[in-house]
Amino acid sequence: MLTKLTLKLYKYTDTDAWARLCHTKTGIFLVSVVLGALGTLGFAPYNNWVVTLATLAFEFFFVSTFKSSKRVFFSLLLYFTAMNTFTLEWLNYVMTGFGGLPPIASYSIETLFSAYLAIFHACLGTLAFRLSMRRIKKDELETDHSQGKDSAATAANDSSASAANDNSANASSSNDASAKSDAKTADADDFDDEEAVEAPPPAFSSRPVPAESSASPSKMQDMPKHGISAGSTRLYPILTLKDGIDRRFFKNAFLLGFLPAALVLADYIIGVLFTGFPWMYVGYTTVDSPFASFAPLVGVRGISLLFFICAGAIALAIERRYVYLPVAGFIFFVSIIIMGIKYVTPMEPIKVAGIQGNIEQSIKWDPNHTIPSIKKYMNLTSPELGKNDVVIWPESAMPVYVQQIVPLLDDLNFLANEQETALLMGIQRVTPDKLSYNSMYVFGQSKNLFDAQIYDKRHLVPFGEVVPFENLTRQLGSIFNFPMSSFSPGALDQEQIHIEKFDLKFIPALCYESIFPELMLSMYSDETNGIIMISNDSWYGDTRGPIEHLAIARMRSMEMQKPMIRVTNSGITAYIDELGAIVERLPSDEEGVLHMQYVPTSGTTPYAKGGIYIFIVMVLATIALGFMLRRVRQDAVQQQFNDMIRP
């Protein structure tokens, strides 16, 4: 009875058995999806970046134990699809609330879109897996085989001696357990036979295999030929691919070099392909972490790369390769040391008022509510003219074209000019050749209305502001017929917003533009003093979308160390300082005025100078590290010795 109970306990605590279970089709699906779902907790509003780092580390470790490229591909695809699906759940609010889609269709589209974003990580991650292999030289393979024979013989003698000391009942029960284990292993290997590894998948621990299993003839045939015991984890396993050629897989090169570089390159592709959607960068999980101190040095892309490298180092530590853990420790230590360093100099503060009208999105474009909406903004603004240096309205605050209300704007411009207050307004305009633009106007700096500065939105929201193949797609339903969805993109080489009274220059950003790092940086100059972002986040309702958007805006301020004035229709209107901290903000879904003592800055950060080139250098260096680690010739005896003495 006691023996049976012991065997049952052993079965449920056998980490090797759990490892084999995780390598089945069901196991890969569950592990990858659960880790990805937990990874969303790093993004706003949860901001638990430690959880995202932990899930990445376990996912990295998990894929490093696979035998084939196919498994690596599907695990990464499932992980990032799950993370994207949970983080981008606010898309369903837009599609059901404004696009008229039924929930089942909305969630299906969102999941497919999440999978589309994830497929780039899966493809490049698989390429990284293949790059981490090196064909074994003939003399190296012969050495490994000869050492493996000695290792196998020693293991066989030890196993036989151990088996002789056990009673027959225990041996029989253990053999039954071994048979079940073999069946599970066979089920795991049924996933695909694209490639084969000489030894079983590395275990999650160094727990010894039962003596009976080790001593059985069938198991003796499966003993590795390369000098490393089958029960131990291996840093440099040998894989036999379809072509029959033995290749050594370098986990350290994979986890510290090729995989981190592959994932940030996937991020970059996602950010530029088909107009781009750079929302899901893991660097955005770090806005409230020590990693954020790297923002003025390497930007969000560089932070993402460092984050992935840390995950790789921790993944190796999970496999008890603690020699690589100091890599993560060093990155984290440096982030703490440089925390709070400023590369810019504060200037004299100015008084700014941000107007949050809180017009419901469902009535914003209704002609019956146009006049009440304009009156609301006028009533909120009138007391602020003359008391503030700058007054800012959100994106599309005026739900009309400029040409439709020229007399009203002329009066506003005259009043603002008399009160020496610059009035920034989000409004649409149309040109004589019928091109319409989503724009930002600056009134009050000249008595002539037509001298007002104009900034046209350069990067439009697909389907929200511009509809691809609209002659066809607009026939498919309301999801392709949002109000004001036929804009033209503005020119890329526009001027910064100039507040003439104080000779201050600001990078303008209209809503969606703020998620594109290089787009924002393209307007930067040594004369830049801050960022003005206006948005209409009412599209997201009370979902996590506005909070995620705010976190992205904070990263833009950190990268250039330029304080941001962020004004939205219904929230989140906020003043973000040069270190990304929120100084003041208004509650969401309330009308009001945010008063700020805004402090512009002068000076330039290293990231603002280097831009994308810093990222390119970092990626190339990481790939070079992978090749360097892959070139190391491995000694099987030395590796076995390292396995024996590791903690």
Residue burial 9-22, b: 16+ Cβ < 10 Å; e: rest: eeeeebebbebbbb
Cβ(646)–Cβ(320) under 8 Å? yes
Q: Minimal CA–CA distance to 116: which of 276, 252, 341, 289?
A: 276
Distance of alpha carbon 575 from alpha carbon 555, whole angstroms:
13
Q: Minimal CA–CA distance to 143: which of 53, 9, 248?
A: 248
User: Which is catalytic among the residues 457, 505, 548, 559?
Assistant: 457
- 92 vs 280, 423, 480, CA distance in Å? 16, 35, 15
Can you read off the two tokens belonging to residue 376? 């609301």
Tell me whether residue 342 is one of the annotated catalytic residues. no
φ, ψ of residue 63 to 5 degrees: the values are -70, -25
CA geometry: angle 240, 321, 315, nearest 5 deg: 80
Q: Minimal CA–CA distance to 335: which of 305, 295, 308?
A: 295
Going by the DSSP 8-state scheme, the letter that residue 534 receives in this structure is E
What is the identity of the amino acid at 77? L
Cβ(53)–Cβ(303) under 8 Å? no
Going by the DSSP 8-state scheme, the letter that residue 352 receives in this structure is E
Can you read off the two tokens belonging to residue 95? 């599609």
Q: Write the secondary structure of 540-600 as one string of H (helix), E (strand) and C (coil).
A: HCCCCHHHHHHHHHHHHHHHHCCCEEEEECCCCCEEECCCCCEEEECCCCCCEEEEEEECC
Q: Minimal CA–CA distance to 117: which of 300, 250, 272, 325?
A: 272
φ, ψ of residue 51 to 5 degrees: the values are -65, -45
Tell me whether residue 511 is one of the annotated catalytic residues. yes
User: Which is catalytic among the residues 195, 395, 465, 578?
Assistant: 395
User: Which is catalytic among the residues 198, 384, 511, 562?
Assistant: 511
Catalytic residues: 395, 457, 511
